[in-house]
Amino acid sequence: MDTLRITKAKKLTGEVTVPGDKSISHRAVMCGALASGDVSITNLCSGDDTARTVTMFQQMGISIQAQGHHSFVIHGKGLHGLREPDDLLYAGNSGTTLRLMAGLLSAQPFFSVLSGDSSLRRRPMNRVVEPLRHMGAHINGRDHGNFAPLAIQGGPLRGIAYHLPVASAQVKSALLFAGLYADSQTTVIEPVLSRDHTERMLSCMGVPINIRGSEVTVQPCEHLEPCRLDIPGDISAAAFFIVAGLIVPDAELVLRAIGINPTRTGCIDILRAMGGQIDIFNERIQCGEPVADIAVRSSSLVATTIEGDLIPRAIDELPIIAVAAAMAAGTTVIRNARELRVKESDRIAAMTSELKKCGVVVEAYDDGMAITGGRGIRGTVCDSFGDHRVAMSLAIAGLCAEEEMIIRDCSCIQTSFPEFMGTLVRIKG
């Protein structure tokens, strides 16, 4: 799947299932390894990123056994059951793995080294390293710890109160994991609330968590209670097919068992504001998370403005929202999203350059972009920049292009959604 060739879709129909939520999957593996007993996980994300997290814990002595299709049993050894790895811990392209593990490993009584692929080694780590050092962590790395590899000599930590300059679930989660081992409570205060999967899961496993607005406090604890974790479908993966259902004529799709955590549904709010016909039904709670089925059908979209508190609730979906904007009447403006510059690629630069190749009028800002839509999309040869979300976004754009869309360097899709192309082919009929 290194090169994708996408042709125009006349219609889209059928039911769609997506991989288990990648963010929740990482946390399920981590919490399962720290639990005092066996934890059963179903619908674990099948992508390479989650596999990196699984492998790390196996390197540290945790038994993780497959029990069928995307189902596993983790034999947790408790908060103090990890052993020193005898080799480097490799996160591949997974920033979530590296940043969250930096927090957890800072408290372990051993030495470890975290690294990743060339893309991950270019992503800034000081945002998590600095507050962990305030807790007493001993972390070294390139550029004084701003870039991996990170060498961590674990040891005792102290509880702190830390104000995040930018809302970040990864940094918040790293501090919460470290806070499980600290000598006093740890409080993280965000400017706006980021995704709260870590807080929900720790609370379900008996950890004392107090949440007040965008402030969360964790108390040191003795153990995590074993439980069963049935992971909902990933709304970030679902977003590609939600947008496809909106922009392709004669489309009607139903997406099953999708996580609708309110810290993650910014994309739904944005697309509805653009005129998207999106219905949420059959709501229930699964794995401590709100879950529902989602129905979507072809819609006439209009431009909107995306900024402020919406950004952290839709940060991973902004590349595919840019494609929706390219098909909407008017100019959609995205602001306050400079975080897109330091993802797997510079997503502002990537989506700007590739949509321009497709004949879309786009202006890039330091913290976002303006996309003038309603003029159609031209098929051409595009690059993914090794970024799974850019690759899949361009593939969805290709469904509306008169000419064939060719997208290069698409093996990156394996990191989060290996079934993407198979699903796309099936609903095209």
Distance CA 209, CA 329 (A): 45
Distance CA 262, CA 235 (A): 11
Helices (H) and strands (E) in the chain, counts: 13, 23
279 is catalytic: no
Q: How many CA atoms lie within 13 A of 352 on its CB side?
A: 18
- Sign of the torsion angle spanned by Cα atoms 69, 71, 73, 76: positive
Spatial CA neighbour of 317 closest among 355, 365, 280, 268: 268
Distance CA 104, CA 174 (A): 7
Distance CA 11, CA 312 (A): 32
- What's the Cα-to-Cα distance from 367 to each of 49, 276, 312, 406, rounded to whole Å? 27, 25, 13, 28
48, 49, 196, 316: the catalytic one is 316
Could you tell me whether strands 405-408 and 381-383 are parallel, antiparallel, or unpaired per DSSP bridges? parallel
Q: Give the DSSP H/E element, type plus range, for residue 235.
A: helix 235-247
DSSP state, 68?
A: S
Residue 208 CB neighbours (<10 A)? 12
User: What's the N-to-C CA distance of the chain in angstroms?
Assistant: 20
Q: What are phi and psi of 259, to 5 degrees?
A: -65, 130
Q: What are phi and psi of 117, to 5 degrees?
A: -75, 180
Active site residue ranges: 316
